Chain A
Amino acid sequence: MSVVAKMQGGDAPGPRDDRALARDALGGDEYAFSQLVTKHSGGLHRAVSRIIGDETEAWDVVQMAFLKGWQRLSQYDPRWSFATWMYRIGTNLAIDVIRSRKSRERAHQAGTEHRLRLVTDTEPASVGADRGDVNRVLAKVLPVLSPQQRAAFVLRELEGFDTSEVADVIGCTPTTVRNHIFQARKVLRKEIEQHFPEYLPGGRRD
């Protein structure tokens, strides 16, 4: 029976925790792995799409991340959270995408910039009014950061990971993560003040 058919069918077992599912998947249980994909693909997609700045491409990255996860299940250490392990694979792939597709990203940024101009010219922005616009600000300012800074900032500040979890995910020390975030904040503060004064309280438009 196919994975999808099993998901739709009635022979699905009860809920199991991630480690048990990963153990079953290592034994060849594709349905167990599909449950892990169902559980974690949405969150991983949100983080990856913020890191690479492209929602559609982010799904490709997420799918490849889960394929790699399946291929490397024997390397998964159950002492780790499965989600953290998958975020590690997905974040590394996202960083590779940023590094290897710079020209494509430049084109994407140009499009985003154009859309932003359209939005800010016609709608007065405010901090509380339309927070969908905040995502557009993110799309504009995050590409200024280095791939490592971007991954650390997204995971820590947007996804709410602990500093130690971020360190596990991107493979560095917590001190390095703090340094990445400190540098990222400095750059982003400047970018927001320069390009989006209308989002600041009181609309500090220079």
Chain B
Amino acid sequence: MNCRDFLIRMDAFIADELEADQTRDFREHLRSCDSCRESAVAADPVLLLSASPLGTASAKQVEACVEVVAALIHQDQLQRRISRPRWRWMAAAAAVVVSTGAGLTWWSSRPVIGMGGASLPPAAVSAVSYQQDPPPPRVEVESPGGNLRVYQYADAGDGNTTVVYIVKESLEL
């Protein structure tokens, strides 16, 4: 772009009406031609800022940036690797704790634990009387060997529910 074209297109540049390549040429001329820059700044002082030189980062700075980004990526990958299995194990442990706690609560809430063949309540018993006088659950114990003991609880009031505990004899209190 020559100085004449620059001055002709100045208003269009300020109004953002130039094509992309004309805008690029205008900027280059604004940065490189002192006399046109003076004319431009006289027309619009903000063009002083548009004439600011495009600084470039040094190769050393870019290289340092690449190194830091690589380190950040590795740290991110490591954190993801560490956090994934931990969450899995924590979820499994939480499930075991909850199920064991629920089982123990259910067991300890039973007033009487009988061994085998408790009689079933009458079918017409009311909900209130059922809560006041719950039938004892049926408990079966087996020792299949290998220092294991199997407890099987069957709730007489709910034929669909059976809870089985497999316990190592050496760990029993």
Residues of chain A whose beta carbon lies under 8 Å from any beta carbon of chain B:
2-4, 7, 30, 33-34, 37-38, 41-42, 45-46, 59, 62-64, 66-67, 70-71, 127-128, 131-132, 134-135, 137-138, 141, 156-160, 162-163, 178, 181, 185, 188-189, 192-193, 199-202
Inter-subunit contact B57/A2 (CB<8 Å): no
Size of the B side of the interface (Cβ < 8 Å), in residues, is 38
Whether A33 contacts B73 by the Cβ 8 Å rule is yes
Least distance between A71 CB and chain B CB atoms (Å): 7
A30 to B76, CA, bound (A): 13
Assembled-state Cα–Cα distance A119/B66 (Å): 35
Nearest first, the 4 closest Cβ-Cβ pairs linking A and B are A42-B57, A128-B34, A3-B70, A192-B45
30 pairs from A and B in contact (CB 8 Å cutoff): A3-B66, A4-B67, A4-B70, A7-B66, A33-B69, A37-B66, A38-B66, A41-B65, A42-B57, A45-B57, A45-B65, A46-B54, A46-B57, A63-B68, A63-B69, A67-B69, A127-B38, A127-B48, A128-B37, A134-B51, A134-B53, A157-B46, A160-B23, A162-B23, A185-B44, A188-B46, A189-B46, A192-B49, A199-B41, A200-B41
Is B42 touching A201 in the complex (CB atoms < 8 A)?
yes
Contact with A along B56-79 (1 / 0, CB 8 A): 110001111111111011001000
Q: Which of B24, B38, B41, B57 contacts A41 (CB 8 A)?
A: B57
Q: Which residue of B lies closest to A199 (CB)?
A: B48
Q: Which residues of A contact B72 (CB under 8 A)?
A: 63-64, 66-67
Interface of chain A: mostly helix, strand, loop or mixed: helix
On whether the beta carbons of A137 and B49 are closer than 8 Å, the reply is yes
Closest B residue by C-beta to A160: B27
Chain B interface (Cβ < 8 Å from any Cβ of A): 14, 16, 20, 23-24, 27, 34, 37-39, 41-42, 44-46, 48-57, 61-70, 72-73, 76
Q: Measured between alpha carbons, how far is A59 from B70 in the docked complex, in Å?
A: 14
Is there contact, CB below 8 Å, between A66 and B69? yes
Chain B residue, CB-CB nearest to A162: B20
Contacts of B23 in A (CB 8 A): 160, 162
